[in-house]
Amino acid sequence: MRRPKTSPEDILSLANIPELKRRLFFLFLGLAIYRFAVHIPTPGINVEAFLSLFQKAAGTIFGFLDIFSGGALRRFSICALGVMPYISASIILQLMTVVFPEIKELYQEGPEGKKKLAYYTRYLTLFICMVQGLGIALGLERMVAPNGVPVVIEPGWTFRVTTMLSLTAGTMFLVWLGEQMTEHGIGNGISVIIFAGIVAGLFPAIGRTLKFVQTGEFSLVGLLFILVLLFAILVFTCFMELAHRRVPIHYARRQVGRQVVGGQTTYLPLKVNTAGVIPPIFASSILMFPTTISQFFPIPAVRHFASFFRFGTVLYEVIYAILIIFFCYFYTAVIFNPKEVADNLKKWGGFIPGIRPGKATEEFLDKVLNRITLIGAIYVAFICVLPSFLIKNLGLPFYFGGTSLLIVVGVAMDLMAQLEAHLLSRQYDTLIRHSKIKVK
């Protein structure tokens, strides 16, 4: 059965669905609260001195992290860490599934297992926030603005503990807010928060680009070329996000009681980018650890080692691309199990034409998935490494392209898919209510 297309009239009918109105209201309310929290400053910081210092580091890893925090790092608000510690905690737990079978079993236990994993993730997030918060506080005490003004007003353990608790409280609040948005709103709350932070910095970036044109740093022809390039990248990203391999599935006819079921042909869609936006977020979180560790150990050798992971260097980009490819395969293996799919097909009488059920089907699905995941991993790595080229060679702000573009497109498409799902359920509900067959 083909899915009915969503028409403009269906989009306008969103206002007539009470449940959807409530979910959309909660979503926008959560985003408004998030944007308000971004502007709450952390105590003990000279904001003007920190901003002038941050402007010099805009093209480094700090500028990268500022995107995910929605500008909170630039202001050094209580939400400066954003939701990245939560992402890091999720990475650690998912990596531990390879080492500890008990954790892997939790992923397979359904809702109860997810509750326990969410419990462990929150506490691990709390620990990571405290470690990063203390490291940032120690680093800020040694920082001085270009005009010689210290960033920290009164250094000491009072400032360190206050900063650690403030940043931890801000991140844990965002995690709680994201979970509430997931449950009562639309889409994944954590992803929507990152999405909102990127979009919030998009318009100032456009304004800065137009200012460059006015001052003569960009020519009008160069600006048009950049717009065409960005449009092509956007179209290519949307195309790859929608691309998938259709594996035909045929269900044999079988008799259940007095009824004959099966005998139909459908397909199993395998997305080229099955992992979505998770790999670049995972990779960037991993690369953030050397900088944090260097704050704890101000030893020349440690700082020299951390300098290799500075954003924009060749080594950073190579490791970033390798980590993205690795996490594309890793996360795809976590969320898609060919053996489980093959067993379910065999259980329900389904098979792939020309492939024997069972082990042969598992090997076929694994082979197909590995091939398309390679294409998807190279695509994601290319899109995420692209900002370095744009910054170094074209002088574009970081918001144009790369991980930010991938997240914006991915989250926007997920939101549209969920809105469409609500509309489709509304259509089916209307058909049932207008049916002449009454079910008692």
pLDDT for 218 beyond 80: no
Q: Which domain holds residue 333?
A: 204-400
Q: What is the mean pLDDT of residues 426-440?
A: 51
Last residue of a domain, one of 384, 400, 416: 400
Band of residue 172 on the pLDDT scale cut at 50, 70, 90? very high
> Do 209 and 306 belong together in one domain?
yes
In a domain, 415, yes or no: no
pLDDT for 375 equals 93
Query: Tell me, what's the pLDDT at 435?
Result: 47
4 has a pLDDT exceeding 50 = no
Check pLDDT > 60 for residue 332: yes
Q: Are residues 195 and 180 in the same domain?
A: yes
Determine which of 146-160, 252-266, 363-377 has the lowest per-residue pLDDT on average. Answer: 252-266
* 193 and 167 housed in the same domain: yes
Considering the domain architecture, whether residues 330 and 352 belong to the same structural domain is answered as yes
Q: What average pLDDT does range 227-233 have in this prediction?
A: 82
User: Within this chain, do residues 269 and 159 fall inside the same structural domain, yes or no?
Assistant: no
* Residues 16 and 147 both lie in one domain: yes
- Tell me: pLDDT of 43 over 80: yes
| Structural domain includes residue 112 | yes
Are residues 208 and 193 both part of a single domain?
Answer: no
Question: Mean of the per-residue pLDDT values for the chain?
Answer: 77
Q: Give yes or no for residue 82 having a pLDDT over 80.
A: yes
The domain boundary residue, chosen from 170, 200, 230:
200
Task: Give per-residue pLDDT as tens, 334-365.
Answer: 778 888 888 888 887 788 888 888 888 888 88
pLDDT at 342: 85
pLDDT of residue 209: 73
Q: Are 211 and 196 within one domain? A: no
pLDDT of 102 higher than 60: yes
The residue that leads in pLDDT, 130 or 216, is 130
In a domain, 424, yes or no: no
Query: What pLDDT, on the 0 to 100 scale, is given for residue 391?
Result: 65
Residues 11 and 112 in one domain: yes
133 shares its domain with 170? yes
Q: How many domains does the chain have?
A: 2
Residue 108 lies in a domain: yes
HEC letters along the chain: CCCCCCCHHHHHHHHHCHHHHHHHHHHHHHHHHHHHHHCCECCCECHHHHHHHHHHCCCCHHHHHHHHCCCHHHHCECCCCCCHHHHHHHHHHHHHHHHCHHHHHHHCCCHHHHHHHHHHHHHHHHHHHHHHHHHHHHHHHCCECCCCCECECCCCHHHHHHHHHHHHHHHHHHHHHHHHHHHHCCCCHHHHHHHHHHHHCHHHHHHHHHHHHHHCCCCHHHHHHHHHHHHHHHHHHHHHHHCEEEEEEEECCEEECCEEECCCEEEEEEECCCCCCHHHHHHHHHHHHHHHHHHHCCCHHHHHHHHCCCCCCHHHHHHHHHHHHHHHHHHHHHHCCHHHHHHHHHHCCEECCCCCCCHHHHHHHHHHHHHHHHHHHHHHHHHHHHHHHHHHHHCCCCCCCHHHHHHHHHHHHHHHHHHHHHHHHHHHHHHHHCCCCCCC
Of 242-246, 255-259, 398-402, 420-424, give the range with the top mean pLDDT: 242-246
Predicted confidence (pLDDT) per residue in 277-331, tens digit: 778 877 876 776 676 566 556 677 767 777 776 666 778 888 888 999 998 888 8
Residue 247 banded pLDDT, cuts 50, 70, 90:
confident
Q: Can you tell me the mean pLDDT for 106-116?
A: 76
> Do 370 and 391 belong to one domain?
yes
Domain endpoint, select from 200, 222, 241: 200
So what's the pLDDT on residue 49? 78
Residue 339 in any domain: the answer is yes
pLDDT band at 176 (very low <50, low <70, confident <90, very high): very high
Indicate whether 254 belongs to any domain: yes
Can you give the CATH number for the domain in which 249 is found?
1.10.3370.10
Q: According to the model, what pLDDT value does residue 1 have?
A: 40
Tens-place pLDDT, residues 126-155 = 999 998 888 888 878 877 777 777 878 888
Picking from 70-84, 114-128, 176-190, 278-292, which range would have the lowest pLDDT averaged per residue? 278-292
Query: Domain check: are 169 and 222 in the same one?
Result: no
What pLDDT is recorded for position 214? 78
